[in-house]
Amino acid sequence: MSAKPVLLIVDDEAGILEVVGRFARRTGFDVLSCNGGREALATLAQTKADLALVDVRMPDIGGLDVLRAIGTLNPSCQVVLMTGYATVESAVEAVKLGARDYLAKPLNFRRLEQLLGDVREQVERRRSVLEIESELTKRLEFCGMIGRGPAMQEIFDLLGRLAPHARTALIMGETGTGKELVAHAFHRLGPRRDRRFVTVNCSAVVETLFESELFGHVRGAFTGATQNKAGLFELADGGTLFLDEIGELQAPVQAKLLRALELGEVNRIGSLQPRHVDVHVIAATNRNLPAEVAAGRFRSDLYYRLNIIHLTLPPLGARREDIPYLIAAFVKDCAGRLGKTLVGVSAAAERRLTSAAWPGNVRQLRNVIERACIMADGDLITERELTTSLDEVLTQARTLGSSSADTLTGALGDSMLLSALEREQIVRALGRTKGNKKEAARLLGLSRRALYRRLDRFALLDTVTRRRSDSLPA
């Protein structure tokens, strides 16, 4: 789009085209001249103008018809009619038809100058509003993700540039950092946006069943296989397969997955006949995959195959500048769903929310806000509504801020301190829920799986299991 506003002049008198054209250029317009109505319509079919000065009486197509045509071809273009036979009636008629104004000939150039100035100003104002708006939306929201700080901006930028070309992608990041949102964005921004997006959770299913889930089976392949069945790979043919929690994938399935990616074919279990599949694969994990590779738990060839394009989402604590915007979005969303008039959080509440530790990242923040929204009854969420839902999170933040924590940091190092605090937080949550892990996970803003992983890491599983003697998920 040209930086200058565009004026279209339509008149069968060459002299007018020339004089007005020169005048308008001096006033800062780009000028298109048309010698009659027919030429004007042809021009308008190809270019847009901001203002049109149209003579009423022309031999081929009259000014009122041009005015009507502009209304449909270029509705944001304002039209001013000109004529040597101006009457009050024809002026009224023109304005009724949508003209902005009506100029009598011979033209009063002072009035014309005023008119051009007004239109130019309007156009500039509208453009700058549009620019600011698109700038704001570009910065804040991208494919359903909120992120204002440089870390998320870079992710948005990478997504926009890589998604059109990615056949495989790997998304890493702690629990609740938005990996699933990124996976969806990859698909939506890519060439397969209109095709299927099939999600497979690699940790949800028992291993043997999982293989058949992914690759399918033929009748009689194993007990219970009473029919031929296509796997999710085949289902996603032509589209995208999202392998969530890929770090949990068992070794035999890793090998088959690699083969499917490299050869573009799968074998249903029990069948020797390979089937061709054309699938884009997006994988996500909250494990540190390079470390899993180093420990021999994840095949390096599969890792490199997936890692061609990779994104790592930073934990929320490393992008606190996003927190106020996330809060605003969550409050708005929640208030809408609950039919409440909430408009945001108090300044003190926001301070507490931006300084909390958020081990469960964005998901946890969202949960805390949702609970506070349910409790709040005024326009603002205050510290009072936050206290219960934030209790666990803030305990950690307060400990971190205290001087004893500083000494601890010196002795233990940051990551060990954080682990120690996280462990303590989990123990406390389990204490509060009397060992109920589902409740505790909710309290911590973690998914149940994420809690189990931490229990495992902190060697807490036995303690809990003994206390509650409830069974672990498969």
Which residues would be at the binding site for ligand ATP (CB under 6 A)?
145-147, 173, 175-181, 286, 326, 362-363, 366, 447, 450
**Cβ atoms 420, 412 nearer than 8 A:** yes
Question: Helix, strand or coil for residue 103?
Answer: strand
CB of residue 226 vs Mg ion: minimum separation in angstroms?
A: 33
Helix (H) or strand (E) holding 16: helix 14-26
Which partner from the list ligand ATP, Mg ion, none does 247 bind, CB cut-off 5 to 8 Å by kind? none
How far is residue 446's CA from residue 361's CA, in Å, rounded to a whole number? 9
Specify the pairing of strand 240-244 against strand 280-285: parallel
CB of residue 243 vs ligand ATP: minimum separation in angstroms?
A: 12
Which partner from the list Mg ion, ligand ATP, none does 176 bind, CB cut-off 5 to 8 Å by kind? ligand ATP
How far is residue 156's CA from residue 154's CA, in Å, rounded to a whole number? 5
Which partner from the list Mg ion, ligand ATP, none does 147 bind, CB cut-off 5 to 8 Å by kind? ligand ATP
How far is residue 86's CA from residue 472's CA, in Å, rounded to a whole number? 88
**Cβ atoms 91, 82 nearer than 8 A:** no
Residue 384: which of 343, 433, 429, 345 has the closest Cα?
345
Residue with the closest Cβ to ligand ATP?
A: 178
CB of residue 329 vs ligand ATP: minimum separation in angstroms?
A: 6
Residue number with CB closer to ligand ATP (38 or 320): 320
CB of residue 246 vs ligand ATP: minimum separation in angstroms?
A: 11
Which partner from the list ligand ATP, Mg ion, none does 420 bind, CB cut-off 5 to 8 Å by kind? none
Restricted to residues 160-199, the positions that interact with Mg ion (CB under 5 A) are 180
Residue number with CB closer to Mg ion (267 or 286): 286
Residue number with CB closer to Mg ion (234 or 245): 245
Residue number with CB closer to ligand ATP (168 or 286): 286
How far is residue 318's CA from residue 181's CA, in Å, rounded to a whole number? 19
The alpha helices in 104-206, defined as continuous H runs, are 109-140, 150-162, 179-189
Which partner from the list Mg ion, ligand ATP, none does 146 bind, CB cut-off 5 to 8 Å by kind? ligand ATP
Which partner from the list Mg ion, ligand ATP, none does 447 bind, CB cut-off 5 to 8 Å by kind? ligand ATP
Write the Ramachandran bin of 340: left for phi over 0, alpha for psi from -120 to 50, otherwise beta. Answer: beta
Strand partners, 380: 344
CB of residue 155 vs ligand ATP: minimum separation in angstroms?
A: 9
CB of residue 1 vs Mg ion: minimum separation in angstroms?
A: 41
How far is residue 357's CA from residue 398's CA, in Å, rounded to a whole number? 9
CB of residue 323 vs ligand ATP: minimum separation in angstroms?
A: 11
Crossing angle (nearest 10°) for helices 63-73 and 88-96: 20
**Cβ atoms 383, 346 nearer than 8 A:** yes
Which partner from the list ligand ATP, Mg ion, none does 450 bind, CB cut-off 5 to 8 Å by kind? ligand ATP
Helix (H) or strand (E) holding 24: helix 14-26
Residue number with CB closer to ligand ATP (145 or 163): 145
Residue number with CB closer to ligand ATP (300 or 447): 447
Residue number with CB closer to Mg ion (12 or 180): 180
How far is residue 424's CA from residue 343's CA, in Å, rounded to a whole number? 35
Which partner from the list Mg ion, ligand ATP, none does 216 bind, CB cut-off 5 to 8 Å by kind? none
Helix (H) or strand (E) holding 243: strand 240-244
Rg (CA), the chain: 32
CB of residue 443 vs ligand ATP: minimum separation in angstroms?
A: 15
CB of residue 154 vs Mg ion: minimum separation in angstroms?
A: 21
Site size for Mg ion, by CB under 5 A?
A: 1
Binding site for Mg ion (CB under 5 A): 180
